[in-house]
Amino acid sequence: MKGGVSVSKDIIATIKENVIQGRKTQEDVGIDDSLAGTAGVVELTQQALGKNISPQVIITDGLTAGMQVVGERFSTKEYFIPDMLASAEAVGAAMDIMKPALESANVETKGKFAIATVKGDIHDIGKNIVAILLKGSGYEVHDLGIDVPTEKVVEFVREEKPGYLGLSALLTTTMTEMGVVIKALEENKLRSSVKVLIGGAAVSEEFAQEIGADAYCVDAFDAVRVLEGY
């Protein structure tokens, strides 16, 4: 039994180390090549589940603990955004693997986050970055895509009941669609069920207030901060 504990500790520590390195799978090199060729976060998470280690432990002591270090290194400028995103992607992939286990164990995630680029707009680089980072921060992210019609957003909110809805618009001509979505949510009596976050080059704090959004986020990190405040 004693050996079992230390094996699980080892796996969790290795998961953490791989998150810090931003290694999703065995094929990834990481920040340096010290772990090259060894199992990445995906393989390690599978192994951990196979050894009946609880998802809660994997999340807290492996994934989140690793992301904590990544966040610190990012703020001291040792890490760049691609490093942060690589780690977030690795964590996101681990969360996907653990989804069934989490559901059956009734463990709550940080919440469901639906994100979309509004109708008429095809810009998605920023939106994708937000999605990757939020997923890596423990949210269950549903990416509805680009040029998403208002009805589709409303339907998703009604059916899937996400706690949060993120809307992205980069054009002054499409940002008004965000107001349309919020109106439609109100009309469908769904507005109070979901916090609406908006972002993108076209929009601003004032605009968010004007259309009655809950928050404007200047970037993906801002989104993490805002969500943590809820």
Where does this chain bind ligand B12 (CB under 6 A)?
Answer: 115, 120-127, 129-130, 166-168, 170-172, 197-202, 217, 219-220, 223
Beta-carbon contacts of 40 under 8 Å, excluding residues fewer than 6 positions away, are 18, 23, 24, 25, 26, 27, 28, 90
Q: Which does 36 bind (CB under 5 to 8 A by kind): ligand B12, another protein, none?
A: none
Cβ of residue 161: shortest distance to another protein, in angstroms? 22
**Cβ atoms within 10 Å of 210's Cβ, excluding its own:** 12
Residues 161-220 interacting with another protein (rule: CB under 8 A): none
CB 19 within 8 A of CB 87: yes
Residues 41-70 interacting with another protein (rule: CB under 8 A): none
Cβ of residue 187: shortest distance to another protein, in angstroms? 31
Nearer to another protein, 28 or 177 (CB): 28
CB 98 within 8 A of CB 49: yes
Cβ of residue 36: shortest distance to another protein, in angstroms? 11
Nearer to ligand B12, 17 or 124 (CB): 124
Cβ of residue 125: shortest distance to another protein, in angstroms? 7
Cβ of residue 107: shortest distance to another protein, in angstroms? 25
Distance CA 198, CA 166 (A): 6
- Site membership for another protein, residue 148 (CB under 8 A): no
Phi first, then psi: what are they for 57, rounded to 5°?
-65, -40
Instruction: Please identify, among the stretches 39-47, 110-118, 124-132, 211-219, the one whose residues bind another protein according to the rule CB under 8 A.
Output: 124-132
- Site membership for another protein, residue 83 (CB under 8 A): yes
**Binds another protein (CB under 8 A): choice among 44, 58, 59, 131:** 131
Cβ of residue 144: shortest distance to another protein, in angstroms? 12
Q: Which one-letter amino acid corresponds to residue 68?
A: Q
Binding site for another protein (CB under 8 A): 22, 28-29, 31, 80-83, 85-86, 89, 124-125, 128-129, 131-132, 143
